[in-house]
Amino acid sequence: MDDEVRGALLEVLRSLSPGERVAFVLHDVFAVPFEEIASTVGRPVGTCRQLARRARTRFRQSAARSTDVTGAEHQQLIEKFVTACAHGDLTGLMAVLDPAVWGVGTILGDPAPPPQVNRGRTDVATNLLVYLGPGATLVGGPFGQPVLLAFTQRRLFAVVTLTVREGLVLKIEATADPAARGR
């Protein structure tokens, strides 16, 4: 994937609401049918279609911007992130996080709790390992896209978007369904 396209993708993914991000990534990136998405997020099929449509509109309207890492560097960073999570390696995970890293987790539910925000390498990494550590399977998007899908027992429970700056993860946005995770 061209670096300019990757940069544009990052910018637009950051601007999407959690619902738009989930619907877009699952349908347009991973070809999950809207019926499955609706079942996973607990929203009507028509709402999921509309959320994905809005996300596509934002992509069309966005201007491409450059990024500061090459495709190969980005892919290596994603692989290090996934490996550290899979092994519960707090030190390894902190090594790929920017000192100013922050993360926000949006929990799907009825009623939905307020988003959880963590700041700093230690807090972000520790919280990530609670949800994305051993026992979770992280699958990266095609072509090194900055999106990860988190599964447990073959059930999708979270969509994670990474923002990379100067070769480190600066921001992590996760939308999760704790019922699917079993928590």
Q: What residue ranges define each of the domains in the chain, with the CATH number in brackets?
A: 3-61 (1.10.10.10), 71-181 (3.10.450.50)
* DSSP class of 88: T
Residues in the chain: 183
Can you say how many angstroms the Cα of residue 38 is from the centroid of all Cα atoms in its chain?
A: 18
CA torsion sign for 72, 29, 18, 65 is positive
Q: How many Cβ atoms from other residues are within 10 Å of residue 138's Cβ? A: 17
Judged by DSSP in three states, 21 sits in: helix
- Report whether the peptide linkage leading into residue 111 is cis, meaning its omega lies within 30 degrees of zero: yes
Q: How many Cβ atoms from other residues are within 10 Å of residue 118's Cβ? A: 18
pLDDT string in tens for the chain (183-residue length): 555 566 666 767 777 888 888 998 899 888 899 999 998 888 999 999 999 998 888 776 654 343 455 677 778 888 899 999 999 999 999 999 999 999 998 888 778 788 889 999 999 999 999 988 888 888 876 655 678 888 988 888 889 988 888 889 989 999 988 777 665
Rounded Cα gap, residues 152 and 150, in angstroms:
7
- Give the Cα-Cα-Cα angle 182, 158, 31 (nearest 5 degrees): 120
